[in-house]
């Protein structure tokens, strides 16, 4: 078939899906979920605002369409063609923590995980999606006490439960145009759900953008405690899934933990705090952005905890995903936040 017109002309897809590559790869259909290159680049074809513009429908996509994925991943993450990725969740290696005096409102760390043998969200079949849900629901019944809680499937959800999840900002919704065009909302809401522990500090989203989106969070700035809970939670899910199905999480020696979006490859980790930085706000947001860049951090504005813009609360997170271990990224974020806080006092 002819190469489609790519509306996102400045995207990585437009740059790396050449006619030669299209002619070579467009006829390939992946084994796990019947995915194609046309499905992978649907967002770049449909929309004109994509930076990356490509998703994987299964682990096979990264291999079968490597001529396209490899250069995109290398360019986006700034890695070399022969780079290897090493994971490390050993929280005992973290030194120090966020200064308890720093005005940190909350801390949140999330990763994604995919179970071998099932498609990723853009390509996963209905049967595979239901099996991922079944494996997770079963795993969640065996969690240790501090992680134990309740799994709430989206299908047939009680209105009171739904409202509570909305109030807690835990519920994910349908209707995101990107996820729709990428194929992630097929059979909605079948096979999707949300788990959280009793304290609401450990959450898992099932079959949203990733098969499993695992989240650890709490009020205050105990980054080490949040990371420790995350590590224990990932292990609890992985051990249980393996015991029940013999399957492990998809882990690639080059690309780390496999996610549907190539921007999340590697650790798939976003470790963030909400912190008040009045000094930096006074100095100028552009200067804060530049400083964060030097510290390998990414700042975003927040809408404030209560919904109103406080004016100086920022979401500060690690910038990198691939090519660094989880321990390195959490350490970088923790140290960087302490640096920003110290400088903020001087700027006030």
**CA–CA gap between residue 344 and residue 98 (Å, rounded):** 14
Cβ atoms of 220 and 203 within 8 Å: the answer is no
Cβ atoms of 291 and 306 within 8 Å: the answer is no
Q: Is 244 a catalytic residue?
A: no
Write down how long the chain is.
348
Q: Can you list the alpha helix ranges (DSSP code H) found in 211-275? A: 223-245
Residue of 20, 244, 248, 305 marked active site: 305
Residue of 63, 134, 162, 300 marked active site: 300
Residue of 108, 192, 229, 270 marked active site: 270
Residue of 261, 292, 313, 332 marked active site: 261
Please give the structure tokens belonging to residue 7. 């509306």
Contacts of 20 (CB under 8 A, 6+ apart): none
Q: Is 270 a catalytic residue?
A: yes
Residue of 110, 113, 129, 192 marked active site: 110
Q: Is 192 a catalytic residue?
A: no
Residue 42's φ and ψ, nearest 5 degrees, are -55, -40
Q: Is 303 a catalytic residue?
A: no
**CA–CA gap between residue 26 and residue 22 (Å, rounded):** 5
Q: Is 213 a catalytic residue?
A: yes
Q: How far is CA 154 from CA 127, 166, 174, 181, 189, in A?
A: 16, 12, 11, 21, 6
Q: How many CA atoms lie within 13 A of 137 on its CB side?
A: 15
**CA–CA gap between residue 68 and residue 15 (Å, rounded):** 10
- Residue ranges with strand state E in 207-312: 212-219, 251-252, 256-257, 270-276, 297-301
Residue of 131, 133, 208, 209 marked active site: 209
Residue of 263, 302, 313, 332 marked active site: 263
Residue of 213, 267, 281, 302 marked active site: 213
User: Which of 19, 22, 34 has the alpha carbon at shortest distance from 119?
Assistant: 34
Residue 69's φ and ψ, nearest 5 degrees, are -65, -45
**In degrees to the nearest 10, what's the CA dihedral of 151, 153, 154, 159?**
-70
**CA–CA gap between residue 200 and residue 228 (Å, rounded):** 15
Which residues have a catalytic role annotated?
110, 209, 213, 261, 263, 270, 300, 305
């Amino acid at each position: 078939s002819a190469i489609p017109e790519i509306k996102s002309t400045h995207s990585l897809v437009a740059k790396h899906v050449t006619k030669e590559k299209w002619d070579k790869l467009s006829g390939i259909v992946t084994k796990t979920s019947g995915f194609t290159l046309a499905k992978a680049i649907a967002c770049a074809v449909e929309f004109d605002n994509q930076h990356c513009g490509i998703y994987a429908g299964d682990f096979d996509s990264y291999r079968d369409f490597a001529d396209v994925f490899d250069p995109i991943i290398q360019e986006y993450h700034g890695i070399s063609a022969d780079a290897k990725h090493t994971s490390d969740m050993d929280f005992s290696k973290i030194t120090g923590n966020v200064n308890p005096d720093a005005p940190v409102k909350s801390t949140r760390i999330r990763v994604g995980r995919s179970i071998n043998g099932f498609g990723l969200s853009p390509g996963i079949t209905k049967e595979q999606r239901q099996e991922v849900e079944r494996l997770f629901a079963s795993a969640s019944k065996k969690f240790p006490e501090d992680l134990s809680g309740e799994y709430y499937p989206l299908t047939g959800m009680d209105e009171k439960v739904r409202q509570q999840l909305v109030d807690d900002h835990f519920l994910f919704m349908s209707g995101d145009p990107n996820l729709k065009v990428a194929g992630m909302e097929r059979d909605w809401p079948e096979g999707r759900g949300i788990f959280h522990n009793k304290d609401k500090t450990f959450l898992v989203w099932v079959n949203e953008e990733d098969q499993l989106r695992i989240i650890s969070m709490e009020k205050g700035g105990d980054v080490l405690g949040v990371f420790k809970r995350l590590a224990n939670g990932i292990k609890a899910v992985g051990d249980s899934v393996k015991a029940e199905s013999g399957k492990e999480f998809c882990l690639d020696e080059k690309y780390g933990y496999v996610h549907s979006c190539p921007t999340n490859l590697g650790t798939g980790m976003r470790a963030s705090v909400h912190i008040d930085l009045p000094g930096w706000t006074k100095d100028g947001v552009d200067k804060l952005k530049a400083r964060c860049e030097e510290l390998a951090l990414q700042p975003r504005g927040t809408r404030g905890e209560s919904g109103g813009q406080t004016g100086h609360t920022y979401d500060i997170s690690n910038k990198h995903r691939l090519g660094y271990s989880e321990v390195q990224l959490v350490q970088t974020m923790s140290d960087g936040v302490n640096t920003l806080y110290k400088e903020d006092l001087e700027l006030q």
